[in-house]
Amino acid sequence: MRSMTTAPRTAERTRCALCRKPLTDRLTGVLDRQEWDARASRAADRAHRRGQPLALVLADLDRFKAVNDTYGHLAGDAVLGAVASVLNGMDGGIVGRYGGHAGDEFLILLPGSTRDEALAVARCAQEHIRRLTVTARASRSTTVELTGQAVSMGVACCDGTVPAARASLADLVLDADVALREVKRAGGGRARTADSATAPDAPIRIPLAAFGHAPEGARGAPGGPGAPGAPGELVLSAAGAARLHALLGEALGRTGAPGPVLVTAPVPAPARAAR
């Protein structure tokens, strides 16, 4: 069973033995893309030879651009570093930055993990990230505390015990990306597997009381065959919910509401003592 851990990792080689080039991303501390490709390929080959399952998670921070635009790039860097620390806590995972030294996407290979184990670890990581409180400077005189960062995750896996079901590393990345795109289209903040990305989504039910309004006998729009809305309930398809999510995001953006993270009241930086 996979788990999350906060214990430091066993010391690993962080520089090329020949050229001494760093093998990790300086900002986040995870492997850069080239080194991740090399280590993940070797781990995938070992799993295939041993007939072990193999899973891959592709993680993407939701609405991360709004963090940079609202609180500054130093705050964005602090969030990236904190998220990377959580992902590095995936027990036995090989973690890398998907875009090399840029971007807000991460790759995590989980050798020996089944589909259910990978999903459980991904959702645990999401919860850890959502609970993070990241302190960062927004200006010379202001410090902010950011929390509630959401992350979308696509999960792909193959059963190493069945040779015909084995997938290449490139196939796993592609499958995880397909699942991730589906999560994004549905509003983000969830984890799903590639094999469920093409399955019909269950209707999404939202109590009208959540909006502070629940007229007696109200019903939502039909969410599909066999999915009538209960009184006081709005029923949407995944596509409809994603559209509503986008419209609300646009409306909140126009009114100057906070971005994708919750922010405490700005904390003034301590004044410097006069010399």
**Tens digits of per-residue pLDDT, 2-55?**
556 644 444 455 555 444 455 799 999 999 999 999 999 999 999 999 999 999
pTM attached to this predicted model: 0.70
How far apart are alpha carbons 22 and 250 in whole angstroms? 41
pLDDT at residue 233 in the model: 73
**For residue 131, pLDDT beyond 50:** yes
CA–centroid distance for 68 within its chain: 17
Beta-bridge partner residues of 24: 31
What are φ and ψ of residue 193, in 5° steps?
Answer: -95, 160
Which H or E run includes 25?
Answer: none
Give the other-Cβ count within 10 Å of 252's Cβ. 12
**Tens digits of per-residue pLDDT, 192-232?**
998 764 444 556 667 766 566 555 544 444 444 444 555 67
Q: Which of 52-61, 85-94, 239-248 has the lowest mean pLDDT?
A: 239-248
Domains and CATH numbers, the chain: 33-200+262-268 (3.30.70.270)
Beta-bridge partner residues of 108: 57, 95
